[in-house]
Amino acid sequence: MTEFPLSPAFILLLGAVLLPFLPGRWRNLFFTVLGAGLLTMVLFLPTATPPPILRVMQYRLIPLQVDGLSRGFGVVFGFVLAAGGIYAYHLRDRGQQCAALLYAAGALGVVFAGDYYSLFFFWELMAISSTVLIWARRDRRSFKAGFRYIIYHALGGGILLAGILSHIHAQAGDILITNLPARNLSGWLILLGVAVNSAIPPLHTWLVDAYPRATITGAIFLNAFTTKTAVYVLIRLFAGWELLIVAGTVMALYGVIYTVITNDIRGILSYHIVSQVGYMVAAVGIGTPLALNGAAAHALANILFKGLLFMAAGAIMAATGESRLTRLGGLFRRLPRVTVFYMIGALSIAGFPLFNGFISKSMILTAATRSHFPAVFLLLNLAAVGTFLSLGLKLPYFAFFHRARPGDLPVREIPRNLHPAMVLMGLACFLQGVFPRLLYFLLPHPVEFHPYTLHHLTEVSQMFGLTFVAFWLFRGMLRAKEYIVLDVDWFFRKPALGARRILVDGTLRLFDLSDRLVMALTRGLISFSQNPMRHVFKTTESDRPYDPDRYRPTVSMLLFGVLLVFLILIAAGPR
């Protein structure tokens, strides 16, 4: 047995315990330094040595298994934790800070877990701690969204645990993740549990419902961890499952469609999480080394550029108090640096050359072509057009460049620490796009891929150029509108009132009736026990005080009764 190591996840757990006892400024510095130290620690974790084993009863737990895949996710998780700490440096909320550390600990625990029990423990830690980041906004809508969020994840976690237990039983008690699930009941249960965290439609509404309701800083961590750890598990366990190709392609298009009709900025970004995770899921289904590298690369790039977009959206909310496109306009003059950072994130997610999204999307699209999935290639390209249209053109045009409305909200000065955090994220997106080796270094398989070919650059230029022309011609038709966008949750929200009347109100009425009956029976028993004879003889002298001697039998009556009993016994006795 190897000595139990100090896992990065346990470092963050310890940090979450210590952080509340530190004063305000030192607490924020501790949070940021912890993220930077975590990044350094993950970079230097050894991969060649056998994984250390912790024995608990008859089980062998491996809380720290390091390889190329887990290291890549761990590095980017550490980076976004440090950048998020800088972004949230102005806050003094212990609850959010502790929840973010526990959330990051859960994500790191999942990616470094070498056994199913460790994976499940950290999986559930993520669900609980991330809910706090939604409730930390402390309003009625965030409370309801967080409640729906935790219901989804409790259901997904239960399905995942059922699949894990079934798989372990089939493997004669072996809990190591090296034994991958087969395509039987246990495998499908594990896949279904992971699909909830992956936000695969129709199991995705928790994401688009809860993320816009989270705190400004909490949304950055929510974007980084839950769906990306799910993609990690898919890469680890389900590479080559063809069903994921269909699911991922549907996700990519589904999310983009809703971004066109959504008004809330963070709602648009949330639907784009669904769309971008679709690229990753489809690549996992293709299952070739290039496709798996593409899935990992896009997950890691997505953490960076989508985190930057959430930071820019948070800056807009901090400055204006608004997140609806219909209430915004002309912000470029007041927030020029935020506009630049937003555009870096938008061009990255659209797959524009010189940014990391171009590298990762090119890998996935090339893998689809080489594996002879032309329909997948065309549909994912169509989703890329929709991404550029909604995030690269529509949102910045109406939020930053379109003329301001007469009743504009006042624009406040945003905290100064927001800018360096966005600089770090934007610089990472740009450097990985210009020097792809910085991204290839984090991938699980050796990479020999050259995205900057003349053919590919020409193809992308034509696609984006035509999209820009179409947007400019029809931009009036794409103006955001004030209405509520219902997703597949319509099917259970619409009949919710009738179901409430039957299941909740009806049950409450039944309990109320039962309560009234019991109280009436109790009052009757009390009254009867206070004066039984009054009820027996139906007296109506309720105004007179109760006199026990009124109904008490006389002594002669008692003697007569005793004598009568003796006579009966003598008469019935033996002769």
* 363-417 confidence digits (pLDDT tens): 999 999 999 999 999 999 999 999 999 999 999 998 888 876 645 678 888 888 9
CA distance linking residue 304 with residue 349, whole number of Å:
10
Q: Is 324 helix (H, G, I), strand (E, B) or coil?
A: strand
87 within domain boundaries: yes
Mean pLDDT over 308-324 rounds to: 92
Question: Do the beta carbons of residue 115 and residue 61 sit within 8 Å?
Answer: yes
Whether residue 480 sits in one domain with residue 544: no
How far apart (Å, rounded) are the C-alpha atoms in residues 218 and 342?
18
Q: What is the distance between the alpha carbons of residues 83 and 190, in angstroms, rounded to a whole number?
A: 33
Taking the C-alpha atoms of residue 304 and residue 220, their distance in angstroms, rounded to an integer, is 10
Two tokens, residue 23 = 């004063």
Do 202 and 244 fall within a single domain? no
For residue 567, which amino acid is it? L
Q: 333 and 443, same structural domain?
A: yes
Specify if 360 maps to a domain.
yes
Question: CB of 346 within 8 A of CB of 391?
Answer: yes
Q: Are residues 109 and 250 in the same domain?
A: no
Q: What are phi and psi of 505, to 5 degrees?
A: -65, -40
Indicate if 234 and 245 belong to the same structural domain. Answer: no
> Is 504 part of any domain?
no
Query: What pLDDT is recorded for position 272?
Result: 93
**Cα–Cα distance measured from residue 547 to residue 300, given in angstroms and rounded to the nearest whole number:** 89
CA separation, residue 46 to residues 35, 223, 458 (Å): 19, 28, 42
Confidence label for 174 from pLDDT (cuts 50, 70 and 90): confident
* pLDDT given at position 51: 67
Q: How many domains does the chain have?
A: 3
Residue with tokens 């009436």: 520
Helix (H, G, I), strand (E, B) or coil at 60: strand
Phi, psi of 536 (to 5 degrees): -70, -45
DSSP letters along 519-565, please? Answer: HHHHHHHHHHHH-HHHHHTT---TTSPP-GGGTPPPHHHHHHHHHHH
Question: What pLDDT, in 10s, does the model give residues 92-126?
Answer: 888 899 999 999 999 999 999 988 999 999 999 99
In the chain, the percentage of residues whose pLDDT exceeds 70 is: 92
Same domain, 279 and 194: no
Contact present, 395 and 316 (Cβ < 8 Å): no
Regarding whether 62 and 13 lie in a shared domain, the answer is yes
Backbone phi, then psi, for 99, in 5-degree steps? -65, -40
CA nearest to 63, candidates 106, 15, 21: 106
Please tell me the distance from the alpha carbon of residue 554 to that of residue 415, in angstroms, as a whole number: 94
Q: Is residue 513 part of a domain?
A: no
Specify the DSSP element, H or E, that contains 545: none
> What pLDDT sits at residue 49?
63
Q: What are 256-293's pLDDT values in tens digits?
A: 999 888 888 999 999 999 999 999 999 999 999 999 99
SS3 220: helix
Kindly state whether residue 519 falls inside one of the protein's structural domains. no
Same domain, 453 and 310: yes
**Residue 332 lies in domain:** 239-494
CB 217 within 8 A of CB 91: yes
In a shared domain, residues 233 and 130? yes
Final residue in a domain of this structure, among 494, 511, 543:
494
The number of C-alpha atoms within 13 Å of 44 and in the hemisphere containing its C-beta is: 5
State the residue for tokens 């593409």: 294
Q: Contact at 8 Å (CB) between 364 and 295?
A: yes
pLDDT value of residue 2: 42
Q: Are residues 459 and 538 in the same domain?
A: no
Same domain, 228 and 257: no
